[in-house]
A and B are shown apart, each in its own frame.
Chain A
């Protein structure tokens, strides 16, 4: 362990123009050296809460002069640098030779805004920001419990990102906490700039296209997840928290499900599953029918398709592939371009795809309609990562449909379900409560049952406290 010295600190802080080393003398004649990084600390608080009281103090030590500040005593150089880089002011008392640190982090950041990725019409509007403490506050406000535990971890050899594991003690299955802790402790990588990086290292199956941790920037979603026996992982400098363990079905649930009337929510939820299915199979089905199974189409529809395809030089597969790739190029471009320009792109894209492609004889009108339905369907799934996954699935199904027709699509579906059945999130099955089968959890699965019927927490999560209602009030 290297002992702390001003020279050693100055040497390491060389060529850092925001590093400050100042010396002040107190009224009692105590000589104090202050070392800090100007960009990381709150300068105003330093002047008002530290420098001014100390300079005017007649006490003979820093601790006695600053009775309200949280002062940490430092013992070695590495520890001093850790504090320094996290927004602390290092104070050296020349008379006693002691080194102290006071945390004064710069709280500069975004204010609490509305979520842009998970918008809802009704319900809480606040969302997480990049400030970790603020994010913890937003959850603690909703769950004012002493049982709500927060454990801190540091990941990334370069970024030293703070990760906070949150759970309700006495409710959550302790196995989840143990697994999460062991995964977080064993992470070995240099940079973690977003929670998705942490998720990538915690996932059980990182080759899969399906996310195994739910990313959300909504505190109400996190509070709900904690309340039913899941854990939440907050990562510093990112507004997206991770929720685990999750199942495939959680990716189709929206916070609005619990705000809408249960019958309305029960209608909308199956609609999301259906749209996901449509988004991955609609165009492949068109290719399968027009390539292999013309006989499956009723005569009136067959006339429309034959008329539409009669002058096309391309096979249905190539026709669909070109349209889908073009559509994806336009979607991707509209994401990267400035907002105002992207609106124009939408119009140009619509004209190019809708009219020019048909007029030029690259695509049939029927396919354009189906591509439109398919593209819109992807947006019904609340989770953005699933939307992106569905794109790859769509191409896979397209290839299967072009070679094997309808049985090919079914083969693909069985393969996808088999893959999903093998997935786990925090070692818990990804297809629960269907496989493994927990019939009591079906009240909030394909439909959203009335809240009164959700007396128990999900059985699949095996919570320590499984009742959501006071059992005497039943």
Chain B
């Protein structure tokens, strides 16, 4: 029987596609969940484009990391760049952020699931069942997880095409897309900017799994394509929802994307939203499995890194994440509070990590280059 090694690497297949798929799916993770009552005016489409450009800047910094020899060296690469203490500090900072991301996604998705699919079932069960499966997924190890993103990408990208019919609804009016430029100072516009930027966040976590991505020199190309696809999808869905609901009615709906699924009709099924939400689980499960592995990896960095990985260790890490998530869902996810506190918290945390992590890595690479030369 082969010893379990969750973080082993056997394949050296050079492919930028994994980075492309990962970036795109992680960027699409939030937008579907939290899209948002904050992005309700037509001129906010420009916010998507602006934040797409800002996201491209972060990805540019990230690509600088991929062209260095450090990612291919795994832990040693990080050690050379930050030193042992530096790695521990980074792991310590990352852990609460990962836990927050994990909890926020889990509870948000469970909330949608409860509201639209299974109102009779407690929200906590909607967290527990996918969590069990995501642990199973994570048990196959990081290498398998990274390449599984292809299945996830092709298993969920079709959802996007289901929104095409919303462009041909008879009641659509082009006037719903005006004004494209805001008239007068708009209150809280910064919040929508921040929301889009935080939705686009996530690729910074590729730093942690870069060892398994077998990065190559053209990584920026793949990251750019992924970012462009994400921005395209954001715009597409936003325009569809603006056309369908109109900018006056849109702010009154909590989950416009999901609600739109209810209006899709087929000769065999009604309430296509149930299928859409369930299919979206693919992306969601994958992300939480990836985060469980990252949480386990980060906790190992804080403890003993030389001991071999175990299934129990991974499951315990997952249970710790659950121990944070379940109480949040049970006691701290009250109507109103979720928008006011958790969404704000996630917005700030997501934006901060997306901006600061690549920047930190970039500065560290520059500093290292200067000291070695």
By a beta-carbon cutoff of 8 Å, the part of chain A in contact with chain B is 292-293, 295-298, 301, 404-407, 409-411, 414-415, 417-418, 421-422, 429, 431, 434-437, 439
Contact = CB atoms under 8 A, between A and B. Distances in A.
A406 B117 contact: yes
B262 to A, nearest CB: 10
A19 to B, nearest CB: 44
A434 B150 CA distance: 6
Given A410-B282, A414-B285, A437-B17, A301 B151 contact: no
A411 B289 CA distance: 14
12 contacts: A292-B118, A298-B268, A406-B117, A410-B281, A411-B130, A414-B137, A417-B151, A418-B137, A421-B140, A435-B147, A436-B13, A437-B147
Contacts of B137: 414, 418
Given A301-B268, A407-B117, A415 B133 contact: yes
B117 A414 contact: no
Nearest to A427: B10
Contacts of B271: 293, 295-296
Contact of A414 (B15, B133, B149, B154): B133
Interface of B: 11, 13, 15, 17-18, 21, 113, 117-118, 129-130, 133, 136-137, 140, 144, 147-151, 154-155, 267-271, 274-275, 277-279, 281-282, 285
Given A301-B268, A421-B147, A421-B148, A410 B140 contact: no
Contacts of A404: 118, 129
B270 A407 contact: no
B15 A436 contact: yes
A429 B147 contact: yes
Main DSSP-derived SS at the B contact region: helix
Contact of A421 (B18, B151, B277): B151
B151 A431 contact: yes
Contact of B144 (A293, A421, A437): A421
A295 B140 CA distance: 37
Nearest to A298: B270
B257 to A, nearest CB: 18
B281 A297 contact: no
Nearest to B130: A411
Contacts of B151: 417, 421, 431, 434-435
Given A301-B268, A434-B154, A437-B18, A406 B274 contact: yes
Nearest to B139: A422
Contact of A405 (B21, B118, B154, B281): B118
A435 B151 CA distance: 7
A274 B144 CA distance: 25
B278 A410 contact: yes
